[in-house]
């Protein structure tokens, strides 16, 4: 099976070209591919398949040629991945399957419009963040409050008033499953300048990662709200934020009714898995 390895701010992926939908990608196979000791190693898998042959009910009827079938490192299915969309788009252009310009990618969270050149950063329209009020996460016995944000997938963005390196993220943060029945990506952020934050993230199904695209947007929303969300904060702020993650830097633009994420997307290797392995 052919694969490509790529990353967006060191949030890394195994890309599987499957244009005609011939690949039966099981949860076990995705997890084995992502295993950093016994597999290729990645935070997730991006299966590249034409929307019309994907067999995915969530994208039926969407007006995009390509569907990003995203899987977490544990093999579970995910709705959306902001860094993944950028890497997915970069692969399509480099492989000659799409032209530089503006076009849509189908995801389980709906269409995402990308703006991409022959090289350089990729811009993704991430659609409107939905603020759902506040929630809590527990880290090493400490309870932190944060802002619940839906980016098509669930997030809890928690402000922290000390260096993020002091947080112990060796284990998954605790949360109330009644509030987050499908699990949650938990971000921790600290203001380091004007409209400038640093962030760490613990992703559901993957653990702590070097970056999370949807998480950077959730953090920008939470930071713009001052780290709290009274009355659900139905009126979302606007403005441009710089978000530093362990793997690099991205820019988040919050605009009326939508949001944009701009950052790098890099392809680093390609190869073939052994036919007797998966």
What count of other Cβ atoms lies within 10 Å of the Cβ of residue 132?
Answer: 17
What are the helix (H) ranges across 15-167? 27-34, 82-94
Q: Which parts of the chain are beta strand (E)?
A: 2-8, 11-17, 44-50, 66-72, 101-107, 110-116, 122-125, 130-139, 142-150, 154-159, 185-193, 196-203, 207-209, 239-245, 248-255, 258-263, 266-272
The verdict on whether 158 is a catalytic residue reads no
Which residue is catalytic, options 34, 131, 158, 212?
212
Please say whether the beta carbons of 13 and 84 come within 8 A.
yes
Question: Which residues does residue 259 pair with via DSSP β-bridges, in sequence order?
Answer: 254
Which residue is catalytic, options 34, 81, 131, 158?
81
The verdict on whether 34 is a catalytic residue reads no
Q: Which residues are annotated as a binding site for substrate?
A: 11, 72, 82-83, 153, 185, 203-204, 213-214
Cα distances from 233 to residues 69, 104, 129, in angstroms, run 32, 29, 11
CA angle 168–210–147, rounded 5-degree value:
65
CA distance 216 to 198: 9
What count of other Cβ atoms lies within 10 Å of the Cβ of residue 106?
Answer: 26
CA distance 155 to 152: 9
CA distance 112 to 266: 19
The most distant pair of C-alpha atoms in the chain lies apart, rounded to whole Å, by 56
Please say whether the beta carbons of 42 and 268 come within 8 A.
no
Q: Which residues are annotated as a binding site?
A: 11, 72, 82-83, 153, 185, 203-204, 213-214
The dihedrals phi and psi of 267, each to the nearest 5 degrees, come to: -100, 130
Instruction: Supply the residues annotated as catalytic.
Output: 81, 212
């Amino acid at each position: 099976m052919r694969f490509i390895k790529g990353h967006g701010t060191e949030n890394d992926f195994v890309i599987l070209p499957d244009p005609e939908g011939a690949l039966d990608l099981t949860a076990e196979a995705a997890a084995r591919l992502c295993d950093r000791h016994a597999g290729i190693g990645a935070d997730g898998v991006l299966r590249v398949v034409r929307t019309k042959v994907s067999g995915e009910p969530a994208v039926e009827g969407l007006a995009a040629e390509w569907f990003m079938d995203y899987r977490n490192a544990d093999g579970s299915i995910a709705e959306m991945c902001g860094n993944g969309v950028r890497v997915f788009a970069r692969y399509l252009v480099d492989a000659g399957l799409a032209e530089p310009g503006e076009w849509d990618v189908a995801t389980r969270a709906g269409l995402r419009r990308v703006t991409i050149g022959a090289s350089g950063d990729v811009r993704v329209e991430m659609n409107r963040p939905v603020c759902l009020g506040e929630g809590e996460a527990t880290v090493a016995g400490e309870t932190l409050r944060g802002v619940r944000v839906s980016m098509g997938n669930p997030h809890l963005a928690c402000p922290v008033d000390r260096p993020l390196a002091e947080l112990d993220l060796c284990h998954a943060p605790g949360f109330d499953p009644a509030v987050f029945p499908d699990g949650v990506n938990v971000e921790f952020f600290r203001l380091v300048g004007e409209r400038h934050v640093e962030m760490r993230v613990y992703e559901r199904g993957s653990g702590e990662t070097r970056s999370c695209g949807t998480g950077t947007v959730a953090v920008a929303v939470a930071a713009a709200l001052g780290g709290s969300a009274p009355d659900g904060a139905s009126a979302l702020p606007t403005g441009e934020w710089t978000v530093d993650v362990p793997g690099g830097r991205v820019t988040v633009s919050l605009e009326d009714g939508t949001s944009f994420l701009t950052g790098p997307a890099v392809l680093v290797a390609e190869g073939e898995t052994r036919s007797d392995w998966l």
